[in-house]
Amino acid sequence: MRSLQIFAMLLCACDVEPGTETAQALTANPCTAVALVAPAGGFSATLGTPIDLSGSATCPVGQTPEFSFWHKRPTDSNWTIPAYVPGNSTFTPPDAGDWCVSVAARAVGSTDSFQVRTGAACGTVTANAPPSTTRTIVVPVVAPSSDLPHAALYAMTDGALGSASHPLVVAIPSTAGSTITAIRARVQDGGSGTRVRLALLVARDNAQAFSTVVTSPDSLGVGVEETIGVVDRSIAVEASAQYFVTVFASSGVLVSNIYRLEIDVL
């Protein structure tokens, strides 16, 4: 006597049009209808995030449905057919792109490969954008050799930026589309009320004049080494623009020093 062996296939080349149902009833009292509840056609998903799968079926009285949620790329010939489950499931696509899902149903205990199946619901899986990384640029402080390793700010008298305060102005590297999030300067003001301030300047379209983008609070004016600057900003770097950082004595008459200048860019 020969025995009949039935093997479950993991791949199936059968296909149906979206929105239709196919029946393959090989046993008595089959389920007669099935619907894909989730996901809906045109779904959007993120790579690495499971897609919720849910179906509903119509079966004869006394029959309990079970579901297999098929999936494939639209260009694939074969469906991947997971094992049947009694209810909902999830699917995590292995890569980004377009993916299709179909649900098949049969009565629990049936040996049919499926009794009813939906058409394909297709959608798009998108890869996450790489996380933004802040990089810190150390801007060279150019100074006369006698001032190394720092630059001296000679405040001759109380004055505005660019007049009697003898500012240090340094061009900073910048790329259009990036974002400046912080600027810091390590300084030591001259004390006795001499204070130091930092400002970000921009020159647009090769203009000879600067515009001030942002200024920092003044240093303490007590002659101690400290960090001044602006943080938690979101300054979009413009195309055809050049950026400069200036550190200058905003008040007082004593010599101040700058030791380090940094800029954080996304």
Q: Of the candidates 103, 126, 149, which is a domain's last residue? A: 126
**Position 178 pLDDT exceeds 60:** yes
Please tell me the predicted confidence (pLDDT) of residue 22.
56
Please tell me the predicted confidence (pLDDT) of residue 142.
53
Closest CA to 166 of 246, 260, 227: 246
Q: Residue 255 and residue 261: Cα distance in Å, rounded?
A: 18
Please tell me the predicted confidence (pLDDT) of residue 174.
78
Closest CA to 218 of 231, 227, 209: 227
- Do residues 42 and 146 share a domain? no
Please tell me the predicted confidence (pLDDT) of residue 9.
36
Q: Residue 66 and residue 107: Cα distance in Å, rounded?
A: 6
Q: What is the dihedral of CA 145, 146, 152, 154, to 10 degrees?
A: -120
Q: Residue 113 and residue 26: Cα distance in Å, rounded?
A: 9
pTM of the model: 0.48
**What total of structural domains would you count in the chain?**
2
Please tell me the predicted confidence (pLDDT) of residue 167.
64
Domain that residue 41 falls in: 11-126
The answer to whether 32 and 59 are in contact (CB under 8 A) is yes
- Do residues 218 and 192 share a domain? yes
Is cis: bond before 74, omega within 30 of 0?
Answer: no
What digits encode the pLDDT tens for the residues 92-111?
999 999 999 999 999 999 98
What digits encode the pLDDT tens for the residues 15-40?
444 555 556 556 778 899 999 999 99
In a domain, 5, yes or no: no
